[in-house]
Structure formats: C-alpha cells, structure tokens
Amino acid sequence: MPRFVVEADGGSRGNPGPAGYGAVVLDPATGETLAERAEFIGVATNNVAEYKGLIAGLTAARELAPDATVLVRMDSKLVVEQMSGRWKIKHPDMKPLAARAAKILPRAQVTYEWIPRERNKHADRLANEAMDAGKRGEQWEPSRSTAFAAAPPAGPPGDAAKGAAAVRAAMASGGGTGTRAAAAAGTGADTLFGATDAPSGDAQARAAEAAAVRAASAVARDTDTLFGAAEAPAEAPAGADGTGPRPAAGSDGGHATRTAAGTGTAAGTGTGTGWGPDMGAPATFVLLRHGETALTPQKRFSGSGGTDPELSPAGRRQAAAVAEALAARGTVQAVVSSPLRRCRETAQAVADRLGLPVAVEEGLRETDFGAWEGLTFAEVRERFPDDLQAWLDSPKAAPTGGGESFTAVTRRVSAARDRLLSAHAGRTVLLVTHVTPVKTLVRLALGAPPESLFKMELSAASLSAVAYYADGNASVRLLNDTSHLR
C-alpha cells in the first residue's frame, strides 16, 4: 500500500482578509515532492484557509493513489486536534469543511500530526505565493512557484530517486490548484528542480501523474543521488604534495558529485536490482562526519589511537549549522555517535536541537592509525615508506605500530551496522562518525572494492545517507553534502 505525507497550511492577511492555502504531497521514504497545490481563496479566516489546504492536500493524495495511507502534518493545532477527534468542532464555518475533509479518504487511512511552523515551510511558502498572486489579481501558477526549490527536504536527505525523477517529468498542472511538475527525467538528467507544465485542467495529465506515482513506488530503491560536494577533508590521510594515491585528498571546490545507487546487499555482495516488490520503509542511516578539530585543517591522521581532540571553534560552528539543517528536515528519529569526543560533541549539538538523546556505538569509532597518529601523509611517507606503501596496496595491511587494517575496520563497522539495523528497522537514524566508517558504509552499500575508499571525498560536518531495505538491498542517497555549511 502506498504511503504519503501531506503537509498543508493556510493563511489570511487580516483574519479575515485576503487568504490562500498551500499543500504538498511527499514520499516519506525519499522526501520526494509528488504534488503541490495552492490557491487564493478571497477573503477568509486563517482557519478556513488551513482547512482548505488540508482538503487540497488530501485530494491530491487520493488522485495519486486512492488506497494510500496518509500522514497529515500541519502547524495548526486546531485542525490537527479537530480532525483527530480530540477537540469538538463548534464554529459553523469549520463543520462543513471538516466533514468534507473526512470524506476524501477512509478514516483508517489518515492520521494527523502537529508540527512546528518552521517544519512546515514548504506549504507555508505555497500559501504565501497564492496570497501574493491574489494581490496581483491572479491565481497561483505552478510554473512560477519557487516553493519546491526553496523548501528544505522533508524526508531523508538526498531527494534523488530515478523513479521519482520520472514521476516529476510525468506530473502536470491543473488550474489554480495544479501539480507542480519537475522535469528532466531519464538516466542522464542532472537537474533536480526543473519544471514542465501540462496545459491547465488536462485530465489526461492528471491520470498520467497518478499512474506514474503508483509505478514509481517500486523503484524507490533505485536511487540516482545528488548533492555531493568536495571540500577539504583531514581525518583520513592526504597526499599533501600530490604524489601517489590520495586517500582523502581534498579540494575547496563546491561542485556537486552525482552518485549512482548501490544495488548490493547490506554487506555489498549481492546482485539485486532497483526493481522489485515494495519492501516498505527502509532504515535510513544519515551519516554525519564530525566537525573540525585543530588537526583537521592540518590534514593529519586522527584516529582512535591518538589524543581524542575536541571540536575547534570552527567545528562547533559546523555542528550548529548541521543541527539547524537536520532540524529543518525533521526526519531524524534517533542519534547514535562514535565514542570519540569530536563525534560526541557534534552529536550532542544536533541532539539538543532535535530534542533526542545520544546513544554511543563503539563500532563507529575511527581507524586506529597506530604510530601514524598526529602525522601528515608526507611525514608518514618519510618515516615509514614501506609500511605506508603496503597499507596503500592492501586493505589487510595495518599502519605501523599496531594500528588497524581496513579489513579489520570493515568487520567492525559491518557488525555495528547490523546491530543498528536490527534496533532501528524502518527508522531514520543519524550516525555521527568519522571518515573511514562513513566511506566503509558507502562502499559496502555500493558493493565497491576496498580501493574505492581512496576515491571518495568526505568533508568535515558533511552529510551522506544510505537506505537499507528489508530484502537486503542498500541504496546510497547522498554523499558528502556540505550545502548546510555555505
């Protein structure tokens, strides 16, 4: 059975005054925007506009899939409590609107949740666009809307499913309450927020939209993800002089890196594809590398066998920025951290903002770099050239002085992953960890060879994401996103 999230809002400039509503239908697994509705409704109260936004959102969800279960999220306590049956509806203007909303979908298919206004920005922006259009003597037009591009992702970071791109291309608008169409689908499409609009009121386009969304429910695993950004890493080694392999060589560029989906099993050894039966909501691990320490800009080895540095002032600012970004998304349900101080401090900053506790997972700690701790790549090459070359050549080789090999780290991280998947099935969990564990989880999801660890950029306080499905498949949705830091 399809599952949707409907976010709706309404506003009145005067209460009563010129009013409008906005509503958006989202895929809860990917954060994908499936439909938008907005309309200027003339002079009305805030509550009337909010109810009309709810009606529009539920109607859009029904058009996409009449059998869908829907979670409605609104910042109107009145509407949420009344529609949930906990508050009586006394106002004569509200009763017919509530009755109309209740008839759109069977009661058993719809639940309601109150959210703070800052988490309802997409629908709020649509409502304001509708009121702005009314002020100009016009109706809201999907082709002129910027709400989709401006709103923070409502689902897990990394809205990028290839099937969802096809859905956006199939979408079309219908009159003043039309669906916003995003375009440029296909395997080579690099655009995320493009728009194509079908003629207003085109019933065939509406039918195509609904069919496309239903068809796309089976391809959420086949992701084609965006938003990787290469910036200066430091915790993993870097070839400072540019010679030889560069395990974590960074650049200051802000370009996006397009990342293909992983189709292996959770351990990266399977051969599954993105097409298949609906496996339900995945467990999504949002992977956050900790903020900077004093060692980060110096590009020194900083693992679990060194001094356990704290966050620098820059690192604390990064932690605060990512906390705000994740709070805006509103999807993280649990926070788990490496035991090392820099991660615990980053995790606590996010958890405090989200109102969640922090759990510690020993398996998420960084590699023990042995005698290389605190040294730069160039210093290690000068002092331990043979050991370094062996380490670069084989994942079984350990750093000088009793450090961990990448093979050992992979076993540890895989075990931690499996424990967390067992504990958090179907949930979105923030894992605050280090360069090597993040790269290892991504590598395993992709089924990539060990040498791929040396071919990924991972910046301080960057976000990556991997979804794990019930059939054992894993999908990389995001890699090295630092947009929240800019």
Rounded (5°) CA angle 312-316-318:
115
Query: Which residue type does 161 have?
Result: A
CA contacts within 13 A on the Cβ side of 392: 19
The C-alpha torsion from 318 through 323 and 324 to 328, rounded to 10°, is 140
CB of 371 closer than 8 Å to CB of 387: no
The C-alpha torsion from 314 through 316 and 321 to 322, rounded to 10°, is 110
Catalytic residue, chosen from 129, 231, 366, 404, is 366
In sequence order, the β-bridge partners of residue 256 are 229
**CA-derived radius of gyration, the chain:** 24
Phi-psi region of 42 (alpha: psi -120 to 50; beta: other; left: phi over 0): left
255 labelled catalytic: no
Q: 325-340 burial, b for 16+ CB within 10 Å, e for fewer? A: bbbbbbbbebbbbbeb
The enclosing H or E element of 182 equals none
424 labelled catalytic: no
Catalytic residue, chosen from 50, 235, 290, 434, is 290
The enclosing H or E element of 410 equals helix 406-423
Three-state SS for 126? helix
Q: Which residues are catalytic?
A: 290, 366
